Structure 1
Amino acid sequence: MSRNLLVLAILLLLVGTLGLGIIGALASRQISRGFSPEERGRWIYSTATDPDSGAPIPYSGGMMMPMACADCHGIDGRGLRTPMFVSPDIRYRNLTDPQGMIEPNGSRGRTYHSDEEIRRAITEGIGPDGEPLSWPMPRWQLTDQQFRDLLAYLKALP
């Protein structure tokens, strides 16, 4: 009798989890309708999930556990200091500053001259000078739409 109850409990747990996943995906589709590109970009930046499907955005390299951009760069994009690394300010205006982006230590660094260079940094982990970015940076497999939305959010950060 207890074995049957255990099987039933596991079955109910699986059905419930599947149901929540479906409801979550449908809710995210409902939520993302009418979102501006900036709002969709904020969703991607904050959750590392697609605003239409709710599915995680695939990545390779970088941190071992999946994290969203905001987990390393802060919700405001200004970077964070963690015990393992210091992340840079990735607001668009800092990345594209003609004098060089302000690095976490206050020095001036590289300048991203185009949106395509920013895309390469996000998707390939390569900086504007052709050098690899620091080890924590994942290589996100963004669709064209996801990149445009994320870029709209980075451009909107004050």
Structure 2
Amino acid sequence: MTARRITVVAERVVVAVFCLVALASCAGTVSPGSPGHAGGSPDVVAAAAIALEAPRSEPAPALSVGATVPAGTVALPTGAFSDRLRLRDVTITGHAVTARLDVASDVRELIDLEVRADFYDADGRFLSSNRQIFRARDAEMFHTTSGVVGLPISVPGPATGARSAVLSVPVLVNGQRA
């Protein structure tokens, strides 16, 4: 290593140490009973646990569904958001899965939603996947006092051969309406 390279590395180490010392001195403490003290409240503990969770990736589509999803049907597996939404009027047509979606767990604003459909042939073999993505503006006209009601879903499938599907919701982000 050249002398110049050693100098550059040393300067970076000094800057990093300086930044760490500066951050540590700014951390400060808050006394119990003061407005900024969390005191290990259940909300803080729960938030910390969620913040530390690694993001989960959605499961890959099954290579075959065999007789578990008969031709002409759409399966709705229980997922992470099953308790917060309802899919109704679910059908598979020649080239798409269609449905209506309600988010009625409480009065919420839909911020981000992804609906995924995995398509299978008449023998239950996987053909392809596709998804429909919604942003807040896409769902605005479906907001009611009961939440989001009747949001139309239409996930396009392969041009030919789709006889059954599995419909899932890998992403749902909602918030309190103002």
Which bin holds the TM-score, normalised by the shorter protein?
A: under 0.3
Give the TM-score of the pair, scaled to structure 2.
0.26
More strand as a share of residues: 2
More helix as a share of residues: 1
Give the TM-score of the pair, scaled to structure 1.
0.28
Who wins on radius of gyration, i.e. which is larger? 2
